[in-house]
Amino acid sequence: MRKLHEWFQQNQREFPWRKTPTPYKVWISEVMLQQTRATVVIPYFERWLTLFPNVRTLAEAPLEKVIKAWEGLGYYSRARNLHKGAQQIVEYFGGEIPSNRKDLASICGLGPYTVGAILSFGFRQKAAAVDGNVTRVVARYFSIEENVDQQSVKRKIADAAESLLDATEPWITAEALIELGATVCTRKPRCEACPLQKNCLGQHKAEFLPITTGEKQVTQLKRAVALIESGGKILVKKGERGKVMADLYEFPYFEMGEGHWTQKAIVQAIQRTLGLPVEIVQKLPPITHTFTRFKAHLFPICYTTETPNPIAGYEWISRELLSELPFSAGHRRILSL
Protein backbone atom coordinates (compact mmCIF):
# COMPACT_ATOMS: atom_id res chain seq x y z
CA MET A 1 0.00 0.00 0.00
CA ARG A 2 3.03 2.29 -0.06
CA LYS A 3 2.09 3.64 -3.50
CA LEU A 4 -1.39 4.41 -2.22
CA HIS A 5 0.06 6.30 0.76
CA GLU A 6 2.37 8.31 -1.50
CA TRP A 7 -0.51 9.12 -3.84
CA PHE A 8 -2.66 10.24 -0.91
CA GLN A 9 0.02 12.52 0.53
CA GLN A 10 0.38 14.21 -2.85
CA ASN A 11 -3.27 14.38 -3.93
CA GLN A 12 -5.44 14.59 -0.83
CA ARG A 13 -7.94 17.43 -0.76
CA GLU A 14 -7.74 19.96 2.05
CA PHE A 15 -10.67 19.83 4.46
CA PRO A 16 -10.97 21.42 7.91
CA TRP A 17 -11.74 18.06 9.55
CA ARG A 18 -8.39 16.72 8.35
CA LYS A 19 -6.52 19.39 10.31
CA THR A 20 -5.72 18.21 13.84
CA PRO A 21 -8.41 15.51 13.83
CA THR A 22 -9.98 14.55 17.16
CA PRO A 23 -12.59 11.85 17.83
CA TYR A 24 -15.26 14.57 18.17
CA LYS A 25 -14.30 16.32 14.91
CA VAL A 26 -14.21 12.97 13.10
CA TRP A 27 -17.63 12.03 14.46
CA ILE A 28 -19.26 15.30 13.43
CA SER A 29 -17.64 15.46 10.00
CA GLU A 30 -18.38 11.86 9.08
CA VAL A 31 -22.04 12.19 10.01
CA MET A 32 -22.29 15.42 8.01
CA LEU A 33 -20.61 13.79 5.02
CA GLN A 34 -23.23 11.05 4.82
CA GLN A 35 -25.43 11.76 1.76
CA THR A 36 -23.75 15.18 1.33
CA ARG A 37 -20.89 16.48 -0.84
CA ALA A 38 -17.72 17.47 1.01
CA THR A 39 -17.67 21.01 -0.41
CA VAL A 40 -21.18 21.58 0.95
CA VAL A 41 -20.22 20.30 4.40
CA ILE A 42 -17.25 22.67 4.98
CA PRO A 43 -19.17 25.80 6.15
CA TYR A 44 -21.59 23.69 8.19
CA PHE A 45 -18.71 21.89 9.93
CA GLU A 46 -16.90 25.12 10.76
CA ARG A 47 -20.06 26.79 12.08
CA TRP A 48 -20.95 23.68 14.08
CA LEU A 49 -17.61 23.70 15.90
CA THR A 50 -18.14 27.36 16.76
CA LEU A 51 -21.59 26.64 18.21
CA PHE A 52 -20.80 23.24 19.75
CA PRO A 53 -17.01 22.93 20.21
CA ASN A 54 -17.21 19.70 22.20
CA VAL A 55 -19.49 16.88 23.29
CA ARG A 56 -20.79 18.66 26.39
CA THR A 57 -21.83 21.86 24.61
CA LEU A 58 -23.67 19.75 22.05
CA ALA A 59 -25.38 17.64 24.72
CA GLU A 60 -26.54 20.71 26.66
CA ALA A 61 -27.80 22.66 23.63
CA PRO A 62 -31.57 22.85 22.95
CA LEU A 63 -32.58 20.45 20.18
CA GLU A 64 -34.10 23.30 18.16
CA LYS A 65 -30.72 25.09 18.13
CA VAL A 66 -29.05 21.89 16.90
CA ILE A 67 -31.65 21.43 14.15
CA LYS A 68 -31.24 25.08 13.12
CA ALA A 69 -27.45 24.60 12.82
CA TRP A 70 -28.14 21.61 10.58
CA GLU A 71 -30.70 23.43 8.43
CA GLY A 72 -30.02 22.80 4.75
CA LEU A 73 -28.02 19.57 5.11
CA GLY A 74 -31.11 17.37 4.96
CA TYR A 75 -31.68 13.93 6.51
CA TYR A 76 -32.36 15.63 9.84
CA SER A 77 -32.37 12.38 11.79
CA ARG A 78 -28.58 12.72 11.62
CA ALA A 79 -28.72 15.93 13.68
CA ARG A 80 -31.17 14.46 16.18
CA ASN A 81 -28.94 11.39 16.57
CA LEU A 82 -25.87 13.58 17.12
CA HIS A 83 -27.69 15.46 19.88
CA LYS A 84 -28.94 12.28 21.55
CA GLY A 85 -25.56 10.59 21.06
CA ALA A 86 -23.78 13.48 22.80
CA GLN A 87 -26.17 13.17 25.75
CA GLN A 88 -25.42 9.45 25.94
CA ILE A 89 -21.67 10.11 25.89
CA VAL A 90 -22.03 12.59 28.76
CA GLU A 91 -24.27 10.27 30.77
CA TYR A 92 -22.45 6.98 30.26
CA PHE A 93 -18.88 7.91 29.33
CA GLY A 94 -18.22 11.10 31.30
CA GLY A 95 -18.30 13.27 28.20
CA GLU A 96 -15.41 11.42 26.53
CA ILE A 97 -15.96 9.57 23.26
CA PRO A 98 -15.07 5.91 23.92
CA SER A 99 -12.17 4.34 22.05
CA ASN A 100 -13.49 0.81 21.57
CA ARG A 101 -15.88 -0.59 19.00
CA LYS A 102 -18.43 -2.05 21.43
CA ASP A 103 -19.03 1.19 23.33
CA LEU A 104 -19.06 3.30 20.17
CA ALA A 105 -21.66 1.01 18.60
CA SER A 106 -23.94 1.61 21.61
CA ILE A 107 -24.16 5.34 20.87
CA CYS A 108 -27.22 6.57 18.99
CA GLY A 109 -26.70 6.89 15.24
CA LEU A 110 -23.25 5.28 15.07
CA GLY A 111 -23.18 2.55 12.43
CA PRO A 112 -20.21 0.38 11.37
CA TYR A 113 -18.75 3.00 9.02
CA THR A 114 -18.79 5.88 11.52
CA VAL A 115 -17.44 3.63 14.27
CA GLY A 116 -14.58 2.58 11.99
CA ALA A 117 -13.86 6.19 11.02
CA ILE A 118 -13.69 7.35 14.66
CA LEU A 119 -11.41 4.45 15.64
CA SER A 120 -9.20 5.00 12.60
CA PHE A 121 -8.98 8.76 12.14
CA GLY A 122 -9.76 9.85 15.70
CA PHE A 123 -7.86 7.24 17.72
CA ARG A 124 -5.46 5.98 15.03
CA GLN A 125 -6.38 2.36 15.56
CA LYS A 126 -6.36 -0.36 12.92
CA ALA A 127 -9.94 -0.20 11.68
CA ALA A 128 -11.44 0.02 8.22
CA ALA A 129 -14.03 2.69 7.47
CA VAL A 130 -16.13 1.24 4.67
CA ASP A 131 -18.41 3.73 2.93
CA GLY A 132 -19.70 3.68 -0.65
CA ASN A 133 -16.36 4.90 -1.99
CA VAL A 134 -14.37 2.18 -0.24
CA THR A 135 -16.92 -0.46 -1.26
CA ARG A 136 -16.41 0.55 -4.90
CA VAL A 137 -12.59 0.45 -4.61
CA VAL A 138 -12.51 -2.90 -2.82
CA ALA A 139 -15.09 -4.56 -5.10
CA ARG A 140 -13.01 -3.59 -8.13
CA TYR A 141 -9.59 -4.28 -6.60
CA PHE A 142 -10.55 -7.82 -5.56
CA SER A 143 -13.01 -8.29 -8.48
CA ILE A 144 -15.92 -9.12 -6.19
CA GLU A 145 -18.79 -9.93 -8.56
CA GLU A 146 -21.53 -10.26 -5.96
CA ASN A 147 -24.30 -7.92 -4.84
CA VAL A 148 -22.65 -5.57 -2.34
CA ASP A 149 -26.06 -4.77 -0.78
CA GLN A 150 -26.20 -8.27 0.73
CA GLN A 151 -25.01 -8.58 4.33
CA SER A 152 -22.66 -11.48 3.61
CA VAL A 153 -20.97 -9.50 0.83
CA LYS A 154 -20.77 -6.40 3.05
CA ARG A 155 -18.83 -8.48 5.57
CA LYS A 156 -16.57 -9.74 2.79
CA ILE A 157 -15.92 -6.16 1.66
CA ALA A 158 -15.16 -5.06 5.23
CA ASP A 159 -12.72 -7.94 5.75
CA ALA A 160 -11.05 -7.21 2.42
CA ALA A 161 -10.70 -3.52 3.27
CA GLU A 162 -9.18 -4.41 6.64
CA SER A 163 -6.64 -6.67 4.90
CA LEU A 164 -5.37 -3.67 2.91
CA LEU A 165 -4.57 -1.55 5.98
CA ASP A 166 -0.93 -0.76 6.58
CA ALA A 167 0.61 -2.37 9.67
CA THR A 168 2.17 0.84 11.01
CA GLU A 169 -0.07 3.62 9.67
CA PRO A 170 -3.46 1.97 9.05
CA TRP A 171 -5.36 5.27 9.42
CA ILE A 172 -3.59 6.65 6.34
CA THR A 173 -4.61 3.63 4.27
CA ALA A 174 -8.20 3.92 5.49
CA GLU A 175 -8.50 7.57 4.53
CA ALA A 176 -6.59 7.07 1.28
CA LEU A 177 -9.09 4.40 0.19
CA ILE A 178 -11.95 6.85 0.78
CA GLU A 179 -10.14 9.58 -1.14
CA LEU A 180 -9.33 7.20 -4.00
CA GLY A 181 -12.97 6.21 -4.35
CA ALA A 182 -14.11 9.84 -4.22
CA THR A 183 -11.68 11.21 -6.81
CA VAL A 184 -10.27 8.43 -9.04
CA CYS A 185 -12.15 5.15 -8.59
CA THR A 186 -15.46 6.89 -9.18
CA ARG A 187 -18.53 5.49 -10.95
CA LYS A 188 -16.72 6.23 -14.18
CA PRO A 189 -13.21 5.13 -13.15
CA ARG A 190 -9.95 6.75 -14.17
CA CYS A 191 -7.83 3.61 -13.97
CA GLU A 192 -4.85 5.28 -15.65
CA ALA A 193 -4.49 7.61 -12.63
CA CYS A 194 -4.92 4.93 -9.96
CA PRO A 195 -1.94 3.97 -7.75
CA LEU A 196 -3.46 0.49 -7.31
CA GLN A 197 -3.83 -0.21 -11.02
CA LYS A 198 -0.99 -2.73 -11.25
CA ASN A 199 -2.58 -5.18 -8.79
CA CYS A 200 -6.25 -4.41 -9.42
CA LEU A 201 -8.09 -7.56 -10.48
CA GLY A 202 -11.16 -5.76 -11.75
CA GLN A 203 -9.73 -2.89 -13.78
CA HIS A 204 -10.93 -4.31 -17.10
CA LYS A 205 -14.53 -4.54 -15.85
CA ALA A 206 -14.42 -1.62 -13.42
CA GLU A 207 -17.41 0.16 -14.98
CA PHE A 208 -19.61 -2.85 -14.16
CA LEU A 209 -18.52 -3.09 -10.52
CA PRO A 210 -19.71 -3.00 -7.83
CA ILE A 211 -22.94 -4.90 -8.41
CA THR A 212 -25.86 -3.37 -6.51
CA THR A 213 -29.59 -3.85 -6.18
CA GLY A 214 -30.15 -0.61 -8.08
CA GLU A 215 -31.71 2.78 -7.45
CA LYS A 216 -35.07 2.97 -5.70
CA GLN A 217 -37.86 4.76 -7.52
CA VAL A 218 -38.45 8.41 -6.63
CA THR A 219 -42.04 9.30 -5.71
CA GLN A 220 -43.35 12.56 -7.20
CA LEU A 221 -45.45 14.85 -4.97
CA LYS A 222 -47.47 17.94 -5.91
CA ARG A 223 -48.32 20.24 -3.02
CA ALA A 224 -50.20 23.52 -2.71
CA VAL A 225 -48.46 25.55 0.00
CA ALA A 226 -50.36 28.28 1.86
CA LEU A 227 -48.54 31.24 3.43
CA ILE A 228 -51.29 32.69 5.60
CA GLU A 229 -50.57 36.03 7.30
CA SER A 230 -52.53 37.98 9.87
CA GLY A 231 -51.31 41.04 11.74
CA GLY A 232 -47.65 40.43 10.90
CA LYS A 233 -47.77 36.76 11.97
CA ILE A 234 -47.66 33.72 9.70
CA LEU A 235 -49.15 30.28 10.30
CA VAL A 236 -46.63 27.42 10.54
CA LYS A 237 -46.55 23.86 11.80
CA LYS A 238 -43.70 21.95 13.47
CA GLY A 239 -43.07 18.45 12.12
CA GLU A 240 -44.11 15.62 14.42
CA ARG A 241 -41.59 13.25 15.98
CA GLY A 242 -41.17 10.10 13.94
CA LYS A 243 -42.10 11.81 10.67
CA VAL A 244 -39.66 12.68 7.85
CA MET A 245 -39.74 16.40 8.71
CA ALA A 246 -39.70 15.97 12.49
CA ASP A 247 -38.72 19.15 14.42
CA LEU A 248 -38.72 21.24 11.21
CA TYR A 249 -41.21 24.00 10.53
CA GLU A 250 -43.36 24.16 7.40
CA PHE A 251 -46.28 26.19 6.11
CA PRO A 252 -49.66 24.48 5.72
CA TYR A 253 -49.77 22.42 2.52
CA PHE A 254 -52.18 20.19 0.66
CA GLU A 255 -51.43 17.12 -1.45
CA MET A 256 -52.86 17.70 -4.95
CA GLY A 257 -52.30 14.21 -6.30
CA GLU A 258 -51.62 13.98 -10.02
CA GLY A 259 -53.74 16.98 -10.99
CA HIS A 260 -53.40 20.69 -10.28
CA TRP A 261 -55.85 22.46 -8.00
CA THR A 262 -57.52 25.74 -8.88
CA GLN A 263 -57.09 28.70 -6.53
CA LYS A 264 -60.71 28.25 -5.50
CA ALA A 265 -60.09 24.61 -4.56
CA ILE A 266 -57.10 25.59 -2.40
CA VAL A 267 -59.11 28.30 -0.61
CA GLN A 268 -61.85 25.75 0.07
CA ALA A 269 -59.27 23.30 1.47
CA ILE A 270 -57.91 26.00 3.79
CA GLN A 271 -61.39 26.81 5.06
CA ARG A 272 -62.29 23.13 5.43
CA THR A 273 -59.14 21.94 7.26
CA LEU A 274 -57.99 25.09 9.09
CA GLY A 275 -61.27 26.90 9.51
CA LEU A 276 -59.84 30.15 8.18
CA PRO A 277 -61.55 32.51 5.70
CA VAL A 278 -58.68 33.81 3.52
CA GLU A 279 -58.06 36.19 0.66
CA ILE A 280 -55.41 35.63 -2.01
CA VAL A 281 -52.55 38.15 -2.08
CA GLN A 282 -50.19 36.69 -4.70
CA LYS A 283 -48.80 33.51 -6.21
CA LEU A 284 -45.10 32.76 -5.72
CA PRO A 285 -42.85 30.86 -8.17
CA PRO A 286 -43.03 27.04 -7.92
CA ILE A 287 -40.19 25.27 -6.12
CA THR A 288 -38.91 21.70 -6.42
CA HIS A 289 -37.67 20.05 -3.25
CA THR A 290 -36.03 16.59 -3.11
CA PHE A 291 -35.79 14.62 0.13
CA THR A 292 -35.15 10.92 0.88
CA ARG A 293 -37.02 9.14 -1.95
CA PHE A 294 -39.42 11.95 -2.74
CA LYS A 295 -39.45 14.86 -5.17
CA ALA A 296 -41.96 17.49 -4.06
CA HIS A 297 -43.22 20.15 -6.45
CA LEU A 298 -44.35 23.06 -4.28
CA PHE A 299 -46.82 25.69 -5.48
CA PRO A 300 -46.87 28.49 -2.87
CA ILE A 301 -49.56 31.17 -2.61
CA CYS A 302 -49.75 34.07 -0.11
CA TYR A 303 -53.01 34.72 1.72
CA THR A 304 -54.30 37.03 4.45
CA THR A 305 -56.95 36.45 7.07
CA GLU A 306 -58.61 38.72 9.60
CA THR A 307 -59.37 35.87 11.99
CA PRO A 308 -56.09 34.36 13.28
CA ASN A 309 -57.84 31.71 15.36
CA PRO A 310 -55.73 29.22 17.32
CA ILE A 311 -55.44 25.97 15.35
CA ALA A 312 -54.39 22.65 16.92
CA GLY A 313 -50.89 21.69 15.82
CA TYR A 314 -50.12 25.11 14.29
CA GLU A 315 -48.52 28.33 15.57
CA TRP A 316 -48.81 31.97 14.55
CA ILE A 317 -45.19 33.25 14.40
CA SER A 318 -44.06 36.82 13.73
CA ARG A 319 -42.08 37.48 10.57
CA GLU A 320 -39.03 38.49 12.64
CA LEU A 321 -38.89 35.16 14.47
CA LEU A 322 -39.38 32.96 11.41
CA SER A 323 -35.74 33.31 10.34
CA GLU A 324 -34.62 31.87 13.68
CA LEU A 325 -36.61 28.66 13.25
CA PRO A 326 -35.36 25.55 11.43
CA PHE A 327 -37.36 25.01 8.23
CA SER A 328 -37.40 22.13 5.80
CA ALA A 329 -35.34 22.99 2.70
CA GLY A 330 -38.25 23.55 0.34
CA HIS A 331 -40.23 25.73 2.76
CA ARG A 332 -37.11 27.68 3.71
CA ARG A 333 -36.72 28.58 0.04
CA ILE A 334 -40.34 29.68 -0.04
CA LEU A 335 -39.70 31.80 3.05
CA SER A 336 -36.76 33.49 1.31
CA LEU A 337 -39.15 34.61 -1.46
E strands in the chain: 219-230, 233-238, 249-250, 253-255, 279-283, 287-291, 294-304, 314-318
What distance lies between CA 144 and its chain's CA centroid? 28
CA atoms within 13 A on the CB side of 100: 3
CB 148 within 8 A of CB 197: no
How far apart are alpha carbons 14 and 11 in whole angstroms? 9
**Rounded Cα gap, residues 282 and 300, in angstroms:** 9
Give the bridge partners for 236, in sequence order: 315
Environment class of residue 41 by beta-carbon count within 10 Å: exposed (0-12), middle (13-18) or buried (19+)?
Answer: buried
Q: Which residues are catalytic?
A: 30
Strand-pairing partners, residue 220, are 295
Q: Mark out the alpha helices in 282-328 (DSSP H runs).
A: 319-322
**Beta carbons within 8 Å of 273's beta carbon, 6+ residues apart:** 252, 254
